[in-house]
Amino acid sequence: MSNIYTQKEIASLREGGKRLARILSLLAERSVPGVSTAELDVYAEELIRAGGDIPSFKDYAPVWGGPAYPAALCASVNKEVVHGVPRADRILEEGDIIGLDLGLTHDGLVSDSAITVAVGEISAETQRLMDVTKEATYAGIKAAVAGARVGDIGHAIEDVVKEAGFYVMEDLGGHGVGHHVHEAPVIPNFGTPGKGPLLHEGQVLAIEVMTGAGTGNGRTLKDKFTYVTKDGSMSAHFEHTIVVTDTGGEVLTK
């Protein structure tokens, strides 16, 4: 049994998650043409620290290796799927979409959440990609029932994305979260119902869906962080930290 949290810890995660959701909505309002992703990162860190909390991603080095992340925010624009490093020369333009992925440590516990937002007017097809990705995230959350298995979550997510004619990014998925940014289990966004690790009440998970409009394959750029769709097609990302209950996932990052 891994990462089962106490009621007291879940209460702290609920408070941290609430703060994180508010900060993401403020960042969404700032995501307009002419703003750089570096400005969004500075704003994100200011907002987190103003609440006495810690940006969980800053200087975080994943246990599986690789360099430490240099910013508070992951800001991934258009074909960038995840881990877009904020830059002063990355200026948002009308028609872009930006994935805002942020971790906040409150009372020593990590919440992780992401939203994708439109910069000005976007195309109907890009809006559909965003809508489907969000819908798939909620389908995964609903499937996070105590007694179900990790494969049930992945299956629910992939079903929604496939049905809409889009792709889940095969190399990326959800994960346990709370004491650390990444904990077991790994949650692929595809799977077979009834297969994979058992889900337990009180388990805290980051359910996150990363989609590609034209492919489920991607690659990491030379900066060693930014992960893009292999064909350059648009990508969207939604994520919530949840706690597993016997009626499905309770969203903590709201």
Q: Which residues contact 52 (CB under 8 A, 6 or more apart)?
A: none
If one asks whether residue 45 binds Mg ion (CB under 5 A), the answer comes out as: no
> Is the Cβ of residue 156 or residue 205 nearer to Mg ion in the bound state?
205
> Is the Cβ of residue 104 or residue 147 nearer to Mg ion in the bound state?
104
If one asks whether residue 80 binds Mg ion (CB under 5 A), the answer comes out as: no
Minimum CB–partner distance for residue 238 and Mg ion (Å): 10
Segment contacting Mg ion (CB under 5 A): 5-13, 96-104, 139-147, 219-227? 96-104
> Is the Cβ of residue 53 or residue 239 nearer to Mg ion in the bound state?
239
9, 41, 53, 112: which one binds Mg ion (CB under 5 A): 112
Segment contacting Mg ion (CB under 5 A): 62-70, 85-93, 143-151, 203-211? 203-211
Asked if residues 209 and 136 have their Cβ atoms less than 8 Å apart, the reply is yes
Strand partners, 109: 106
Under rule CB under 5 A, how many of the chain's residues touch Mg ion? 6
Segment contacting Mg ion (CB under 5 A): 42-50, 65-73, 98-106, 225-233? 98-106
Strand partners, 241: 206
DSSP label of 238: E
Q: Map residues 16-35 to x or -, x wherever contact with Mg ion holds by CB under 5 A.
A: --------------------
Report residue 159 as tokens: 């079903």
Angle formed by the axes of helices 7-30 and 37-50, to 10°?
140
Asked if residues 170 and 211 have their Cβ atoms less than 8 Å apart, the reply is no
80, 96, 101, 183: which one binds Mg ion (CB under 5 A): 101
Of 48, 36, 27, 147, residue with least CA distance to 104: 48
If one asks whether residue 206 binds Mg ion (CB under 5 A), the answer comes out as: yes
Q: Map residues 230-249 to x or -, x wherever contact with Mg ion holds by CB under 5 A.
A: ---------x----------
Minimum CB–partner distance for residue 87 and Mg ion (Å): 19
DSSP letters for 175-214: EE-SSSSSEEEEEES---TT-SSBP-TTBEEEEEEEEESS
CA distance 200 to 189: 19
Asked if residues 189 and 168 have their Cβ atoms less than 8 Å apart, the reply is yes
Minimum CB–partner distance for residue 42 and Mg ion (Å): 19
> Is the Cβ of residue 139 or residue 209 nearer to Mg ion in the bound state?
209
Residues that bind Mg ion (CB under 5 A): 101, 112, 114, 206, 208, 239
